Chains A and B, each alone.
Chain A
Amino acid sequence: MSVVVNEIRTGVYLDSVALMRVSREIAAREGVEEAGLMIGTPANRAILRDAGVLNEVGETAGAGDLVIAVRAQTAAAAEAAMAEARRLIDRGRASPSGGAEGAAWRPRTTRAALQALPEANLALISVPGDFAAAEARKALDRGLDVMIFSDNVPLADEVALKQRARAAGRIVMGPDCGTAIIGGVPLAFANAVPRGDIGVIGASGTGIQEVTCLVARLGGGILHAIGTGGRDLSAEVGAITTLTALDMLEADAATRTIVLISKPPAAHIARAVLDRVAQISKPCVVCFLGSGELAMPANARLARTLEDAAYLATGRTAPRADAGPTAGPARGPLICGLFSGGTLSAEAQLVLADAGLTLRSNAPVPGVAAIAGDDLGAGHTLLDLGDDEFTRGRPHPMIEPATRDAFVARACGEARIGVLLVDVVLGYGAHADPGGHLADQLAGLASRPIVIASVTGTDADPQGYAAQVAKLAAAGVHVAASNAQAARWALAAVAGLPR
């Protein structure tokens, strides 16, 4: 017999998306059948009543009240869910987006934050792009290094900020810098990796995540992973942050090896960066994903893939030939890759293109054809579902894996697709159970191709690497040790099939 518990909170003002998030978190709890948080207008009470979550307490709510409604299998589960709802609401009220009166004090300005924490030396800025440059300037003026999470910052502002920072001996990471680890502390979408002597400089978030996680799983550790923002190595920006980061990691005694990750820069920028690398007394690994052969300085090794970079940085030899899982021949000749990480998509494209496959992608590496649409059955297709065209008005698939569901369903329904290749990205900021979500979806599909996944994460991540791999494996997903290996497995699975 189900138990319905309601609570009324008066004078609690949270925006609808915050309420929706709390609803989803509560509804996903063990033993909870349904949950909802709504303003108690008569129309909304009718909705809650129809959904079977309203009781006599909730019936008394008015338009100025928030109704928290839970239906669970047992009284204990209902009470636990209600307690969690209270905690989340109170946390939300104390958060900047909660914006409610009576909330615990939190600094709203850089100045106030510095008064509260005078020893702070880095500001992480996540405000709408129009405001980000102004906030970054304020932070730089107060002597802080800056990480700009915001995107849509004008290019001219980026150049000006980075020049200003470099002149002041500071660094600006970003804009659109979603991942960093500074002094062993993960910032934004980063993973829980052990501290160690490897420093990473990366223009790509998931590229940093894949390399740092592989390093961790290979027994190495990371002290700093400095995000530069995707435009840093462009001709316009001139690698200002990359060069500053090289200076910083060279000066950092605890860093013994430096890994540099980026898409291929403009030729003169690559030359400038490699000239600087040549002056460094430490071994370096350079991974310009998709670049051709490049002459490396004596202290540097060129990595073709993120996987290569991790192996080279840890002094290991990367595996080359993987037969892959013995799943039998694929049902069709095509590979369909559905990625939440743009750099993981790029790395998979490189592996497949190197093997001679003709590919299409919405975010192609050099040599791969660009497609505007998303027709999955017309050829080997690798989509970056985190690209702007798929995330306008929707959460990023790393945050909400359900945004990939429709593509997975279509790929599974297309008989010519023999292999579905996916990434599962863990870490702070990512979805709480992306592997479980994918496993649940696959379990409900009548037919499907061979599914090969890689999991970017560590056991110390909130989601737990081993737990995520186990969920995927239990659903019949073949889990590779790296994204590059997953791509090689996909190749092996369709090898010999007519295209």
Chain B
Amino acid sequence: MSATIPIVSIGRRAAEDVTRARRADVVGVFASSFHLETDAGRLVCIGHPRIGNGPVNALAVWDDDLATCAALGLHVGQVAAIGNDEIALAGGPVFRLDAAKVWMWPAWPVMTSRQAQADLCDEVTAYVRDTAPAEGLARVLLGEEPRERLAQVLFRTAQAHVATLRGWCDGLGGRDRASDAQAEVAARGLVGLGPGLTPSGDDFLCGMLVALRAVGETKAAEDLGFWISRAPADATTRLSRAFLAAARDGEPTEGLYAAVAGVLAADARLLGHGLELLAATGHSSGWDMLAGALAVLARREW
């Protein structure tokens, strides 16, 4: 008899996609999560609560905390039937949706104090210096070049693009066509760049897109999202495309929301919660998102 596993929380985008789908295919199985591609070509990530809430995430609770998805009988190529509030994997578990709460990020707080925000940004930068892994783009913000040749090529490529985008953010008050054109090249240069199933460059862009919305720079966020959307479909992985699409719409993960909102509201506890969740997001993905958000938030003139 198949195990029945309750989904306790589901992101708004994932909820919509599941509601519209009739079947899906398992396209990736990892330790704490697995990915479904629906018959409409949308990607949903079902995983243990340790992966955190997010727009395309559905959090499920299974009995043995340490059991991996493979141990639950999940494998790539498996077909899922969707309907009647459940996702039933052929020969595998059934995920129940009837008790799932739809997760939405709260409204962005109003910035309380520019000085407090600047101080928190400095603190977060110091935290990144102490804690972020050597891989990924967080170290690019700090200018710490790696030793390996291949990593150096990656670092220098990313550094140039990141510097351009930071300059573009700093000049948002007086944007012109030339700086926009440079920013577009830089943004598209980051798409699909770097290690990971969600490449670091994509994570960095997700952080920027969300932070721009959070500080009220909606037009800039839309433009950046548009430039990214013009990258070829094969510029990055399927999973990363799904996350970028959500970020283009301003939808953060729970960790990214808490970190950005914590800075804006000068709420150290909220910020700490966000940093904790981001640090647990992939190997460098959370840090890369944080780096992207910092590239926006560190500007002093919001």
Chain A residues in the interface with B (C-beta under 8 A): 11, 13, 15-17, 19-20, 23-24, 27, 34-36, 38-39, 41-44, 46-48, 50-51, 53, 62-64, 96-97, 99-103, 108-109, 111-112, 127, 131, 134-135, 392-394, 402
What residues of chain B have their CB less than 8 Å away from a CB belonging to chain A?
A: 28-31, 64-71, 74-77, 130-136, 147-150, 153-154, 157, 189-197, 199-201, 232, 234-238, 282-284
The smallest C-beta distance from A405 to any residue of chain B, in angstroms, reads 9
Enumerate chain A residues within 8 angstroms of B74, measured Cβ to Cβ. Answer: 101
Contact B199–A101 (Cβ < 8 Å) = no
A47 CA to B71 CA, complexed, in Å? 36
B125 CB, nearest partner CB in chain A, Å:
14
CB of A41 within 8 A of CB of B133, answer no
From A44, A53, A135, A394, residue with most partner B Cβ within 10 Å: A44
Residue numbers in B under 8 Å from A47 (CB-CB):
150, 153-154, 157, 193
- Determine the chain B residues whose CB is within 8 A of the CB of A38 once the complex forms: 195
**Contacts A13-B30, A15-B282, A63-B236 given: A44-B192 contact, CB under 8 Å?**
yes
Query: Which residue of A has the minimal Cβ distance to B78?
Result: A101
Whether B76 lies near A43 (C-beta < 8 A) is no
- Given A34-B150, A41-B234, A46-B157: 20 more A-B contacts, CB < 8 Å: A15-B196, A38-B195, A39-B199, A42-B232, A43-B157, A43-B190, A43-B235, A47-B150, A48-B150, A51-B149, A63-B192, A63-B235, A96-B68, A99-B29, A103-B70, A108-B64, A108-B71, A134-B65, A392-B130, A392-B131
Q: Are B133 and A99 within 8 A (Cβ)?
A: no
Q: Which residues of B contact A134 (CB under 8 A)?
A: 65
Cβ–Cβ contact A16 & B29, under 8 A:
no
A16, A64, A394: residue with the most chain B Cβ atoms closer than 10 Å = A16
Provide the bound-state CA to CA distance between A11 and B96, in Å.
Answer: 28
B149 and A99 contacting across the interface, CB-CB below 8 Å: no
Q: Is the interface of B mostly helix, strand, loop or mixed?
A: loop
Q: Decide: B147 and A402 in contact? CB cutoff 8 A.
A: yes
A15-B153 contact given A38-B195, A41-B192, A108-B71, CB 8 Å threshold: no
B130 CB, nearest partner CB in chain A, Å: 5
Query: B residues within 8 A CB of A402?
Result: 147
Most B CB contacts (10 A, CB to CB) among A13, A36, A63, A134 go to: A63
Contact A11–B76 (Cβ < 8 Å): yes
B66 touches A127 (CB 8 A): yes
With A13-B30, A41-B237, A63-B237 in contact, do A53 and B196 touch (Cβ < 8 Å)? no
Closest to A23 in B: B150
Q: Which residues of B contact A35 (CB under 8 A)?
A: 150
Query: Bound state CA distance, A17 and B190, in angstroms?
Result: 20
Q: Quick check: B193 and A43 within 8 Å, CB to CB?
A: yes
Interface contact A42-B235, CB-CB below 8 Å: yes
Chain A positions within 8 Å of B157 at CB level: 43, 46-47, 50
The reply to whether B237 and A44 contact each other, CB–CB distance below 8 Å, is: no
Q: In the complex the two chains form, what is the Cα distance from A96 to B68 in whole Å?
A: 8
User: How many whole Å from A134's CB to the nearest CB in chain B?
Assistant: 7
Q: Which residue of chain A has its CB nearest to the CB of B240?
A: A63
Inter-subunit contact A16/B196 (CB<8 Å): yes
